[in-house]
Amino acid sequence: MKSAITLSQVPEAAAGPFVFHQPLAEGFAAAKKHGYHSVELFFPGPDFITVAEVKALAAEHNLGIAAVGTGAGMVKHGLSLTDPDPAKREAALEFVLKMIDFGGQLGAPAILGSMQGKWGGDISRDQALSWLADALKAAGAAAAKHGVPFIYEPLNRYETNLINHLAEGAKYIEDNKLENIVLLADLFHMNIEESDVAQAIIDAGKHTGHVHFADSNRNAMGMGHTDTAPIVAALKQVGYTGYLSAEVFPKPDADACAAQEIKAIKEALA
C-alpha cells in the first residue's frame, strides 16, 4: 500500500476534507516534504490546468498521481448522473468522461463521489440506480482505454441515498456486470454506515480499489477513535495494494494534519 494526500484547487470546496488548498506547486512541495508517495487531485474541471503541467510538477517532486476527483462537477456546476433532467445527466457524464481522460493521461483513475447524486421526488431509487449503472458502464469503458479503473465511492446517508455500504456497492457491480469499476472505501463514510468496517472490507473482497484513510471524525488518522489495526489487516487479507489517501480535514492546520496522517500510514504499514 502507498500513501497519498489530497490537493484541492476548488474554491467552492474550501471547507471540504482536503489537506492542501494553496497554489498547486506549493501543494506538491508540501506533499513531498511530508514524505508522501503520491497526491490525489481535486480540480474545478478538466481544463483547469494542462496534463503536461501536472506531469511536470509530479516529475519535479518525484510524486505519483493517485487519483483525480470529479466532485467539482457537483459542488461547482451542480451536475449529477442521476439528475431528473436528461440534459443535466448528459452534461454530468460528459464532465466525468473528460476527467477520466484527464486523469488517464496521468495514469490515474477518476473517482465518482458526490456526482452520483440522489433519488427522490419523481425519480425512484431503481430509476436512479439504472441511470447510474449506464453511466458507470460508459465510465468503466473510457477508463479502460487508459489502462486504469474507474472508482465508485459509496457515501454516507447524509450525502447520498443510493448506496451507503461497501457490500451493497460490490453487489451492485456484480448484479449490473459493471466492468473496470472498483470501490472506494472511505473510512469516514464507513464509520457512519458499517456495523464493522474491517468485516465490510473483507466482505467486499477484491472490489476495493482505493481507500480514503480518514479517522471517525474525518480528521487525520489518529485524531479520532478508529481502530486502524483490524482495518489494515482486512485490506491486507483481501490483497489490497492501492493507496491510503488522506482525504481529511486540515486540522489543526494542513501541515500538522499531513504530518499526523503520514505517521499513521507508516505505523499502519510497519
Least Cα distance to 184 among 81, 235, 112, 97 occurs for 112
The owner of cell 495514469 is 107
Contacts of residue 185, defined as CB under 8 A and 6 or more positions apart, other chains included, come to 166, 200, 201, 204, 208, 210, 211, 212, 235
For 235, the grid coordinates are: 485490506
Angle at which helices 51-61 and 24-33 cross, to 10°: 30
Which residues touch 245 (CB under 8 Å, ≥6 apart)?
3, 4, 5, 6, 38, 40, 66, 67, 210, 211, 212, 213
Contact between 194 and ligand LER by CB under 6 A: the answer reads: no
192-251 positions binding Mn ion, by CB under 5 A: 212, 247
Q: Which is the catalytic residue, given 40, 153, 194, 261?
A: 153
Among 5, 7, 39, 155, binds ligand LER (CB under 6 A): 155
- Assess 114 for contact with ligand LER (CB under 6 A): yes
67 exposed, middle or buried (CB, 10 Å; 0-12, 13-18, 19+)? buried
Could you tell which of ligand LER, Mn ion, none binds residue 71, using a CB distance below 5 to 8 A set by kind? ligand LER
The residues in 116-145 that bind Mn ion, with binding defined as CB under 5 A, are none
Regarding 186 and contact with Mn ion (CB under 5 A), the answer is yes
Choosing among ligand LER, Mn ion, none, which partner's interface includes residue 155 (Cβ < 5 to 8 Å by kind)?
ligand LER
Whichever of 247 and 261 has its CB closer to Mn ion, that residue is 247
Please tell me whether residue 186 binds ligand LER under the rule CB under 6 A: yes
Number of residues that bind Mn ion (CB under 5 A): 3
Binding of ligand LER by 159 (CB under 6 A): yes
Q: Within 51-110, which residues bind ligand LER (CB under 6 A)?
A: 71
Neighbours of 229 (CB within 10 A): 11
**Quick check: is 60 catalytic?**
no
Q: Which three cell numbers stand for residue 16?
A: 471540504
Minimum CB separation of residue 118 from ligand LER in Å reads 12
Catalytic hit among 40, 194, 247, 261: 247
Task: Check residue 201 for interaction with ligand LER (CB under 6 A).
Answer: no
Residue 215 touches ligand LER, criterion: CB under 6 A: no
Which of ligand LER, Mn ion, none does residue 182 bind to, with CB < 5 to 8 Å depending on kind?
none
| 40 membership: H or E segment, kind and range | strand 38-42
Q: Is 26 one of the catalytic residues? A: no
Q: How many CB atoms lie within 10 A of CB 212?
A: 26
Compare residues 187 and 232 and give the one whose CB is closer to ligand LER. 187
Identify which of 65, 72, 1 has the alpha carbon closest to the alpha carbon of residue 27.
65
Residue placing its CB nearer to ligand LER in the complex, 55 or 168: 168
- Contacts with Mn ion by CB under 5 A lie at 186, 212, 247
Which residues are known to be catalytic?
153, 247
Contacts with ligand LER, residue ranges (CB under 6 A): 71, 111, 113-114, 153, 155, 159, 186, 212, 247
